[in-house]
Structure 1
Amino acid sequence: MFSRAFRVRSNTAIKGSDRRKLRTDVAAAFPNFSAEQLTEFIPNKEELNVIKIYSHKGEAITLYMNNKNPILFEIEKALYPTVYALWVYPDLLPVFSTWPPVLQKLAGGADLMLPGVAVPSSGLPQVERGTLCAVTLLGNRAPVAVAVATMSTAEMLAAGMKGKGFAVLHTYTDHLWEYGDKSYPPILAPLVTDPAEMETAEEEMERKEPVISFSTDPLQHVDVGDLSLKEQDSCAVQSGKEELGENRAAEGTVDANTEVQQEAEDSRTPQEQMDALLSQCFFHALKCKVKKSDLPLLTSTFLRSHMFSCCPAGQQLDIKKSSYKKFSKFLQCMQHQKILQVKELNKGVESIVEVDWKHPDIKTFAVPEGFSSASAAQDNKNEDREQVYHAPEIIPLYGVSTKMIPLFQESGHRKGSILSSSEVRNIIVNYVKTNELVDETNKNFVKVNAVLCDCLLEKSEQDEISNLKWDDLFSRCLDRLQPLHQVTFVGQEPIVRKGNIEPIDITVAQRSSNKKVTIIKNLELYGLDPQCVANTLQQKVQASATITPLPGTKDRVQVQIQGNQIHHLAKMLLEEYQLPRRHVQGLEKAPKLGRKK
């Protein structure tokens, strides 16, 4: 469903009454939610938006966003969780497992066939046809897909595990996932306590898929090609067995080296072990997940979205089992150590407002080995997304038109040659001097010869004008050349476009009930993401913002926000984005300061 890009129709903040209704609908759709989890999932104070989109097939879909991540999508009044929601609540839906290479097929739009479902020794979950299910990868309990069962468990087994088992709606790495923060799935240990079952799962994996990667990004190191879940040839199986044998030998060496460390950890009380895990996840999240631009950051978001994902595989972070009992007490302790500062920005809601990134405890913290590559990749993605916007360099250029060829052919230029204004000036000066056209009596004038007459003068002027001032000569020449412009974004090759660049156009329109809206056009021409501008402006002014197609264009949009917001737009575009004022049109329509609303 989200294997191709979708189109955003509107983006608005959810009101309190709508939050309560949504919470009721979620409770009815997912009975496994406890009251505490439901309040955490649909919070009262945190930013929560509803976005109307159209899929590539034209289906109308509603997205619910929490902290810039989609958590739910609604189709025909049916609610479905996203992978972002399931990473926090992995036991919300019945779970079926598959092999990592299958994920790439699912992300491409394929449904999950029954031969691709791993059957544990404990048996498959009991579901009915039409049941909403989560799909995980062997070795990790974090869901990577949301699907609907096309048959009951009994029918699956009766069919010999052949045929289509699940209609896939949404997967990790699809366009809905890309609409969020693009984070990787957390590493969650499987709920397997029987060693014999673990061994059976490993043997099944070895038999069916010899090349399997359990990296944080399942698609990062897997070359699927024309992968099939049918029998592999004997050479591939043998190669896979050798590779698994080498990996197991390496794991045995690591286990031997860490045996002493594990014994030392076992000597600590469970409470001390949980305190150590809490501190590890805390410093790991600060060092690898949180950026300065994220502040202020709600403490609940920091715990749920950042710290939990830093928990090592096979361990579970439970603050109630620590000596602190409450996360707020732990943060108070960290605040006393001057690592961070917590404030109550809204009544009853605490936020992290400042972090001392140079604190020795943060600087000396070593990221656990299992997280090194994933954390580095995540950091790189975060840095890419959070790069400071740099206004493009815009240079006016001129193309030689058919009428101006006689004037420029002496300098070796042809029709379509692209020149800057300084190059045009130098060519004109050289032409005038070469042809001795400077007026002897007044050097501020240039004599008009036949070429200049044909190129620069109108028919009504040809019999009347014999001399032109230098400035008039240059301006007439530039006016008769084809206008172009060159746009250069930081780190990219220059782009030459026809015509003069259109300014960012800001207008104020009147709507029903005498309400005003501010409309912003042409943001894309300056490398600005309209959706990002809309979200930022919406947060600044606390007003509804929408994205709509720009009339008369194919692939451009306009931002519309309630009220006359030109003052805020001027500050954002001119001060924050450092755009030249000449490229912003309509700032004079700002409301006069001091006028009563």
Structure 2
Amino acid sequence: MFKKKPTVKPLAPLRSSDRRKTAEQIISELGLELPSTDLDDPEEKAAAVAKISNIRNALLPENALSARFTTTVGPDLKQVSGTVYVGSYRDDQRILWVKLEDRLYPTVYTLWQNPGIVPLLHTHTPVIEKLQGGADLMTPGLAAGPPFPSKAKQNATVAIASLDSPSVPLAVGRCEIDVSALEKVQGARGHAVENIHWAGDELWSWSNASKPGSQPPDSLQGWLDDDDEAADIATKTEQLDLADGANGGVSLHSGEEVAGAQDRTDIKDAFESVEDKPLSTKEIDEGFRKAFLYGVRHHMDVNRGQPSFGLSFPLTQSFVMANLVQPFLPAYTPAQTASLQIKKTSWKNIKKFIKSLDKEQIVKTKDRDTHEVVIMDIDFKDRTIADFTPYRLPKKETVGGAAQGREHNATVISDPGDSSVGQKIKKLELYRPKEKLADMFEKAQADPRGYHTTSEIGSIVTSYIAIEELVVETNKRLVKIDPILANAVFDGSTHLDKEVINKGTVPRDALIDRIIKSCSPFWSIIRNDESSSTSKPKAGAAPKITIMLETRSGNKTVTKVSGVEAYFIPPQPLADELRKVCAGSTSVEQLKGSSPKTPVMEIMVQGPQKDAVIKALEKRGVNRQWVEIVDKVKGKKKG
């Protein structure tokens, strides 16, 4: 979460009562066992009280400081705020705890000083590297189990360590599933742990003395039950077969685990020793054939719920090569890369290659003209496809410079057609009441944990006013402030609050507006005739599509478009249309700074093409009000 540097306000000493209250919250949330003080012997009772005091001091030292912080996370730059608690780690002042949404999480510095306060999970070293890039831990990435720690229940705070250093936690997260109940991880899918903080992020590196972050210790006592357990984990490390998940199930791509390759137990390890020599024609042919089968399986796994698995027939030769073959070629060495060229196959060109697949009855083709053949259909139930075993793909540097598996590129441009053209989009801005508003919503017979539109909240407030008879008789625009409204909405924290409380009344519209602002914002985008009940609202402000005009290479203007994925618009087909409409080159690449886990793609078009982009978006159901235009050429920003 803390890839971006948080803005930390000035630190202030914790009052004794606040420190005690915070320490008790930590003990309660982590389920730590404390000695009983219900003892008859005064000496034993005094010893128990002293031990509890020592535990509190160990978790949150007496010299602890606190401060509010803000930061932004995710591709939408969602603003997050909370509290950090700073205390001594060795000779430095470090962030020991971070409070997010009224929940306290330990940092690695706290874990290094307090062994065993949370369950410890293990994963492979390559996965740790991805966790330190901000990725979440997927279920197939769990190691050294089952069984897993019994306290690693859903929503529990856990630590994560590498199998290479099993006693040193390197990340802190929250279980999204009941990890303790897992009976196997091979073949499993989905997120296991939401990654909150890791050694190497901005919490770890924060220092009021501008010192670099402290490096993890080589080993720690107390995190493992005994030396036998450490030896057992070390043995598992030595015996680790990367085929069981060298990627550890950590998905750095949008959607589910890429191509299903991370959730198949029979994946071949393509990183075994490979001799760097040119391939024979037979090997090149087999490489192209396997790449096509891999490309089809990739679409079947990634686009399971879509017609024809996201493929829009007929498929052209260029599409087949660019999206179903090229990203999946097993080229592990420079010599193999040079060998795996279509002209070096026995078919010599893509047309004859596709025809060969037709002869195997894997696809059905049709001649479009003397130079081109198109695929009209694919037999997705063919045994050759069904029995195909995905192999580990080599990595290459993307345009943005980050190493990624090449199947990522295929995901980006997985749809040759564009089903978003003509779609109808409905954008909902929703609000969920916070806990302090629960009494008011319950009395108005409304769901205090549900999602409501602004008009619905207005009706709920009106119902509450009527039920409690709060309308001022002499001026029906005014509403009396009762204890529930005073505590939940006007708590006296601002000058305006104090003024309203002193008057005892507030205008109805101002009250509704204040209650809406006291709720947590959510959003949901509904496509075509889908019901709002089928779309789970997402936290934060509703996203906008950004159109940015900027100057490059001196005086050349380019237009960049980002954020279209939230509106069910595939970036590549949109870029293809803009290339034709604008008669200029276009490109699609990952937006700089977007999360590798849920990447946001950016379309770049040559020239000042704002109007053409807006017209193309309107064809896809996007309202002009949902678009933000940033004109860096003129230095303007328009809503």
The TM tier, using the shorter chain, reads: 0.3 to 0.5
Q: Indicate the structure (1 or 2) with the bigger Cα radius of gyration.
A: 1
The structure whose residues are more often helix, as a share, is: 1
TM-score scaled by length of structure 2? 0.37
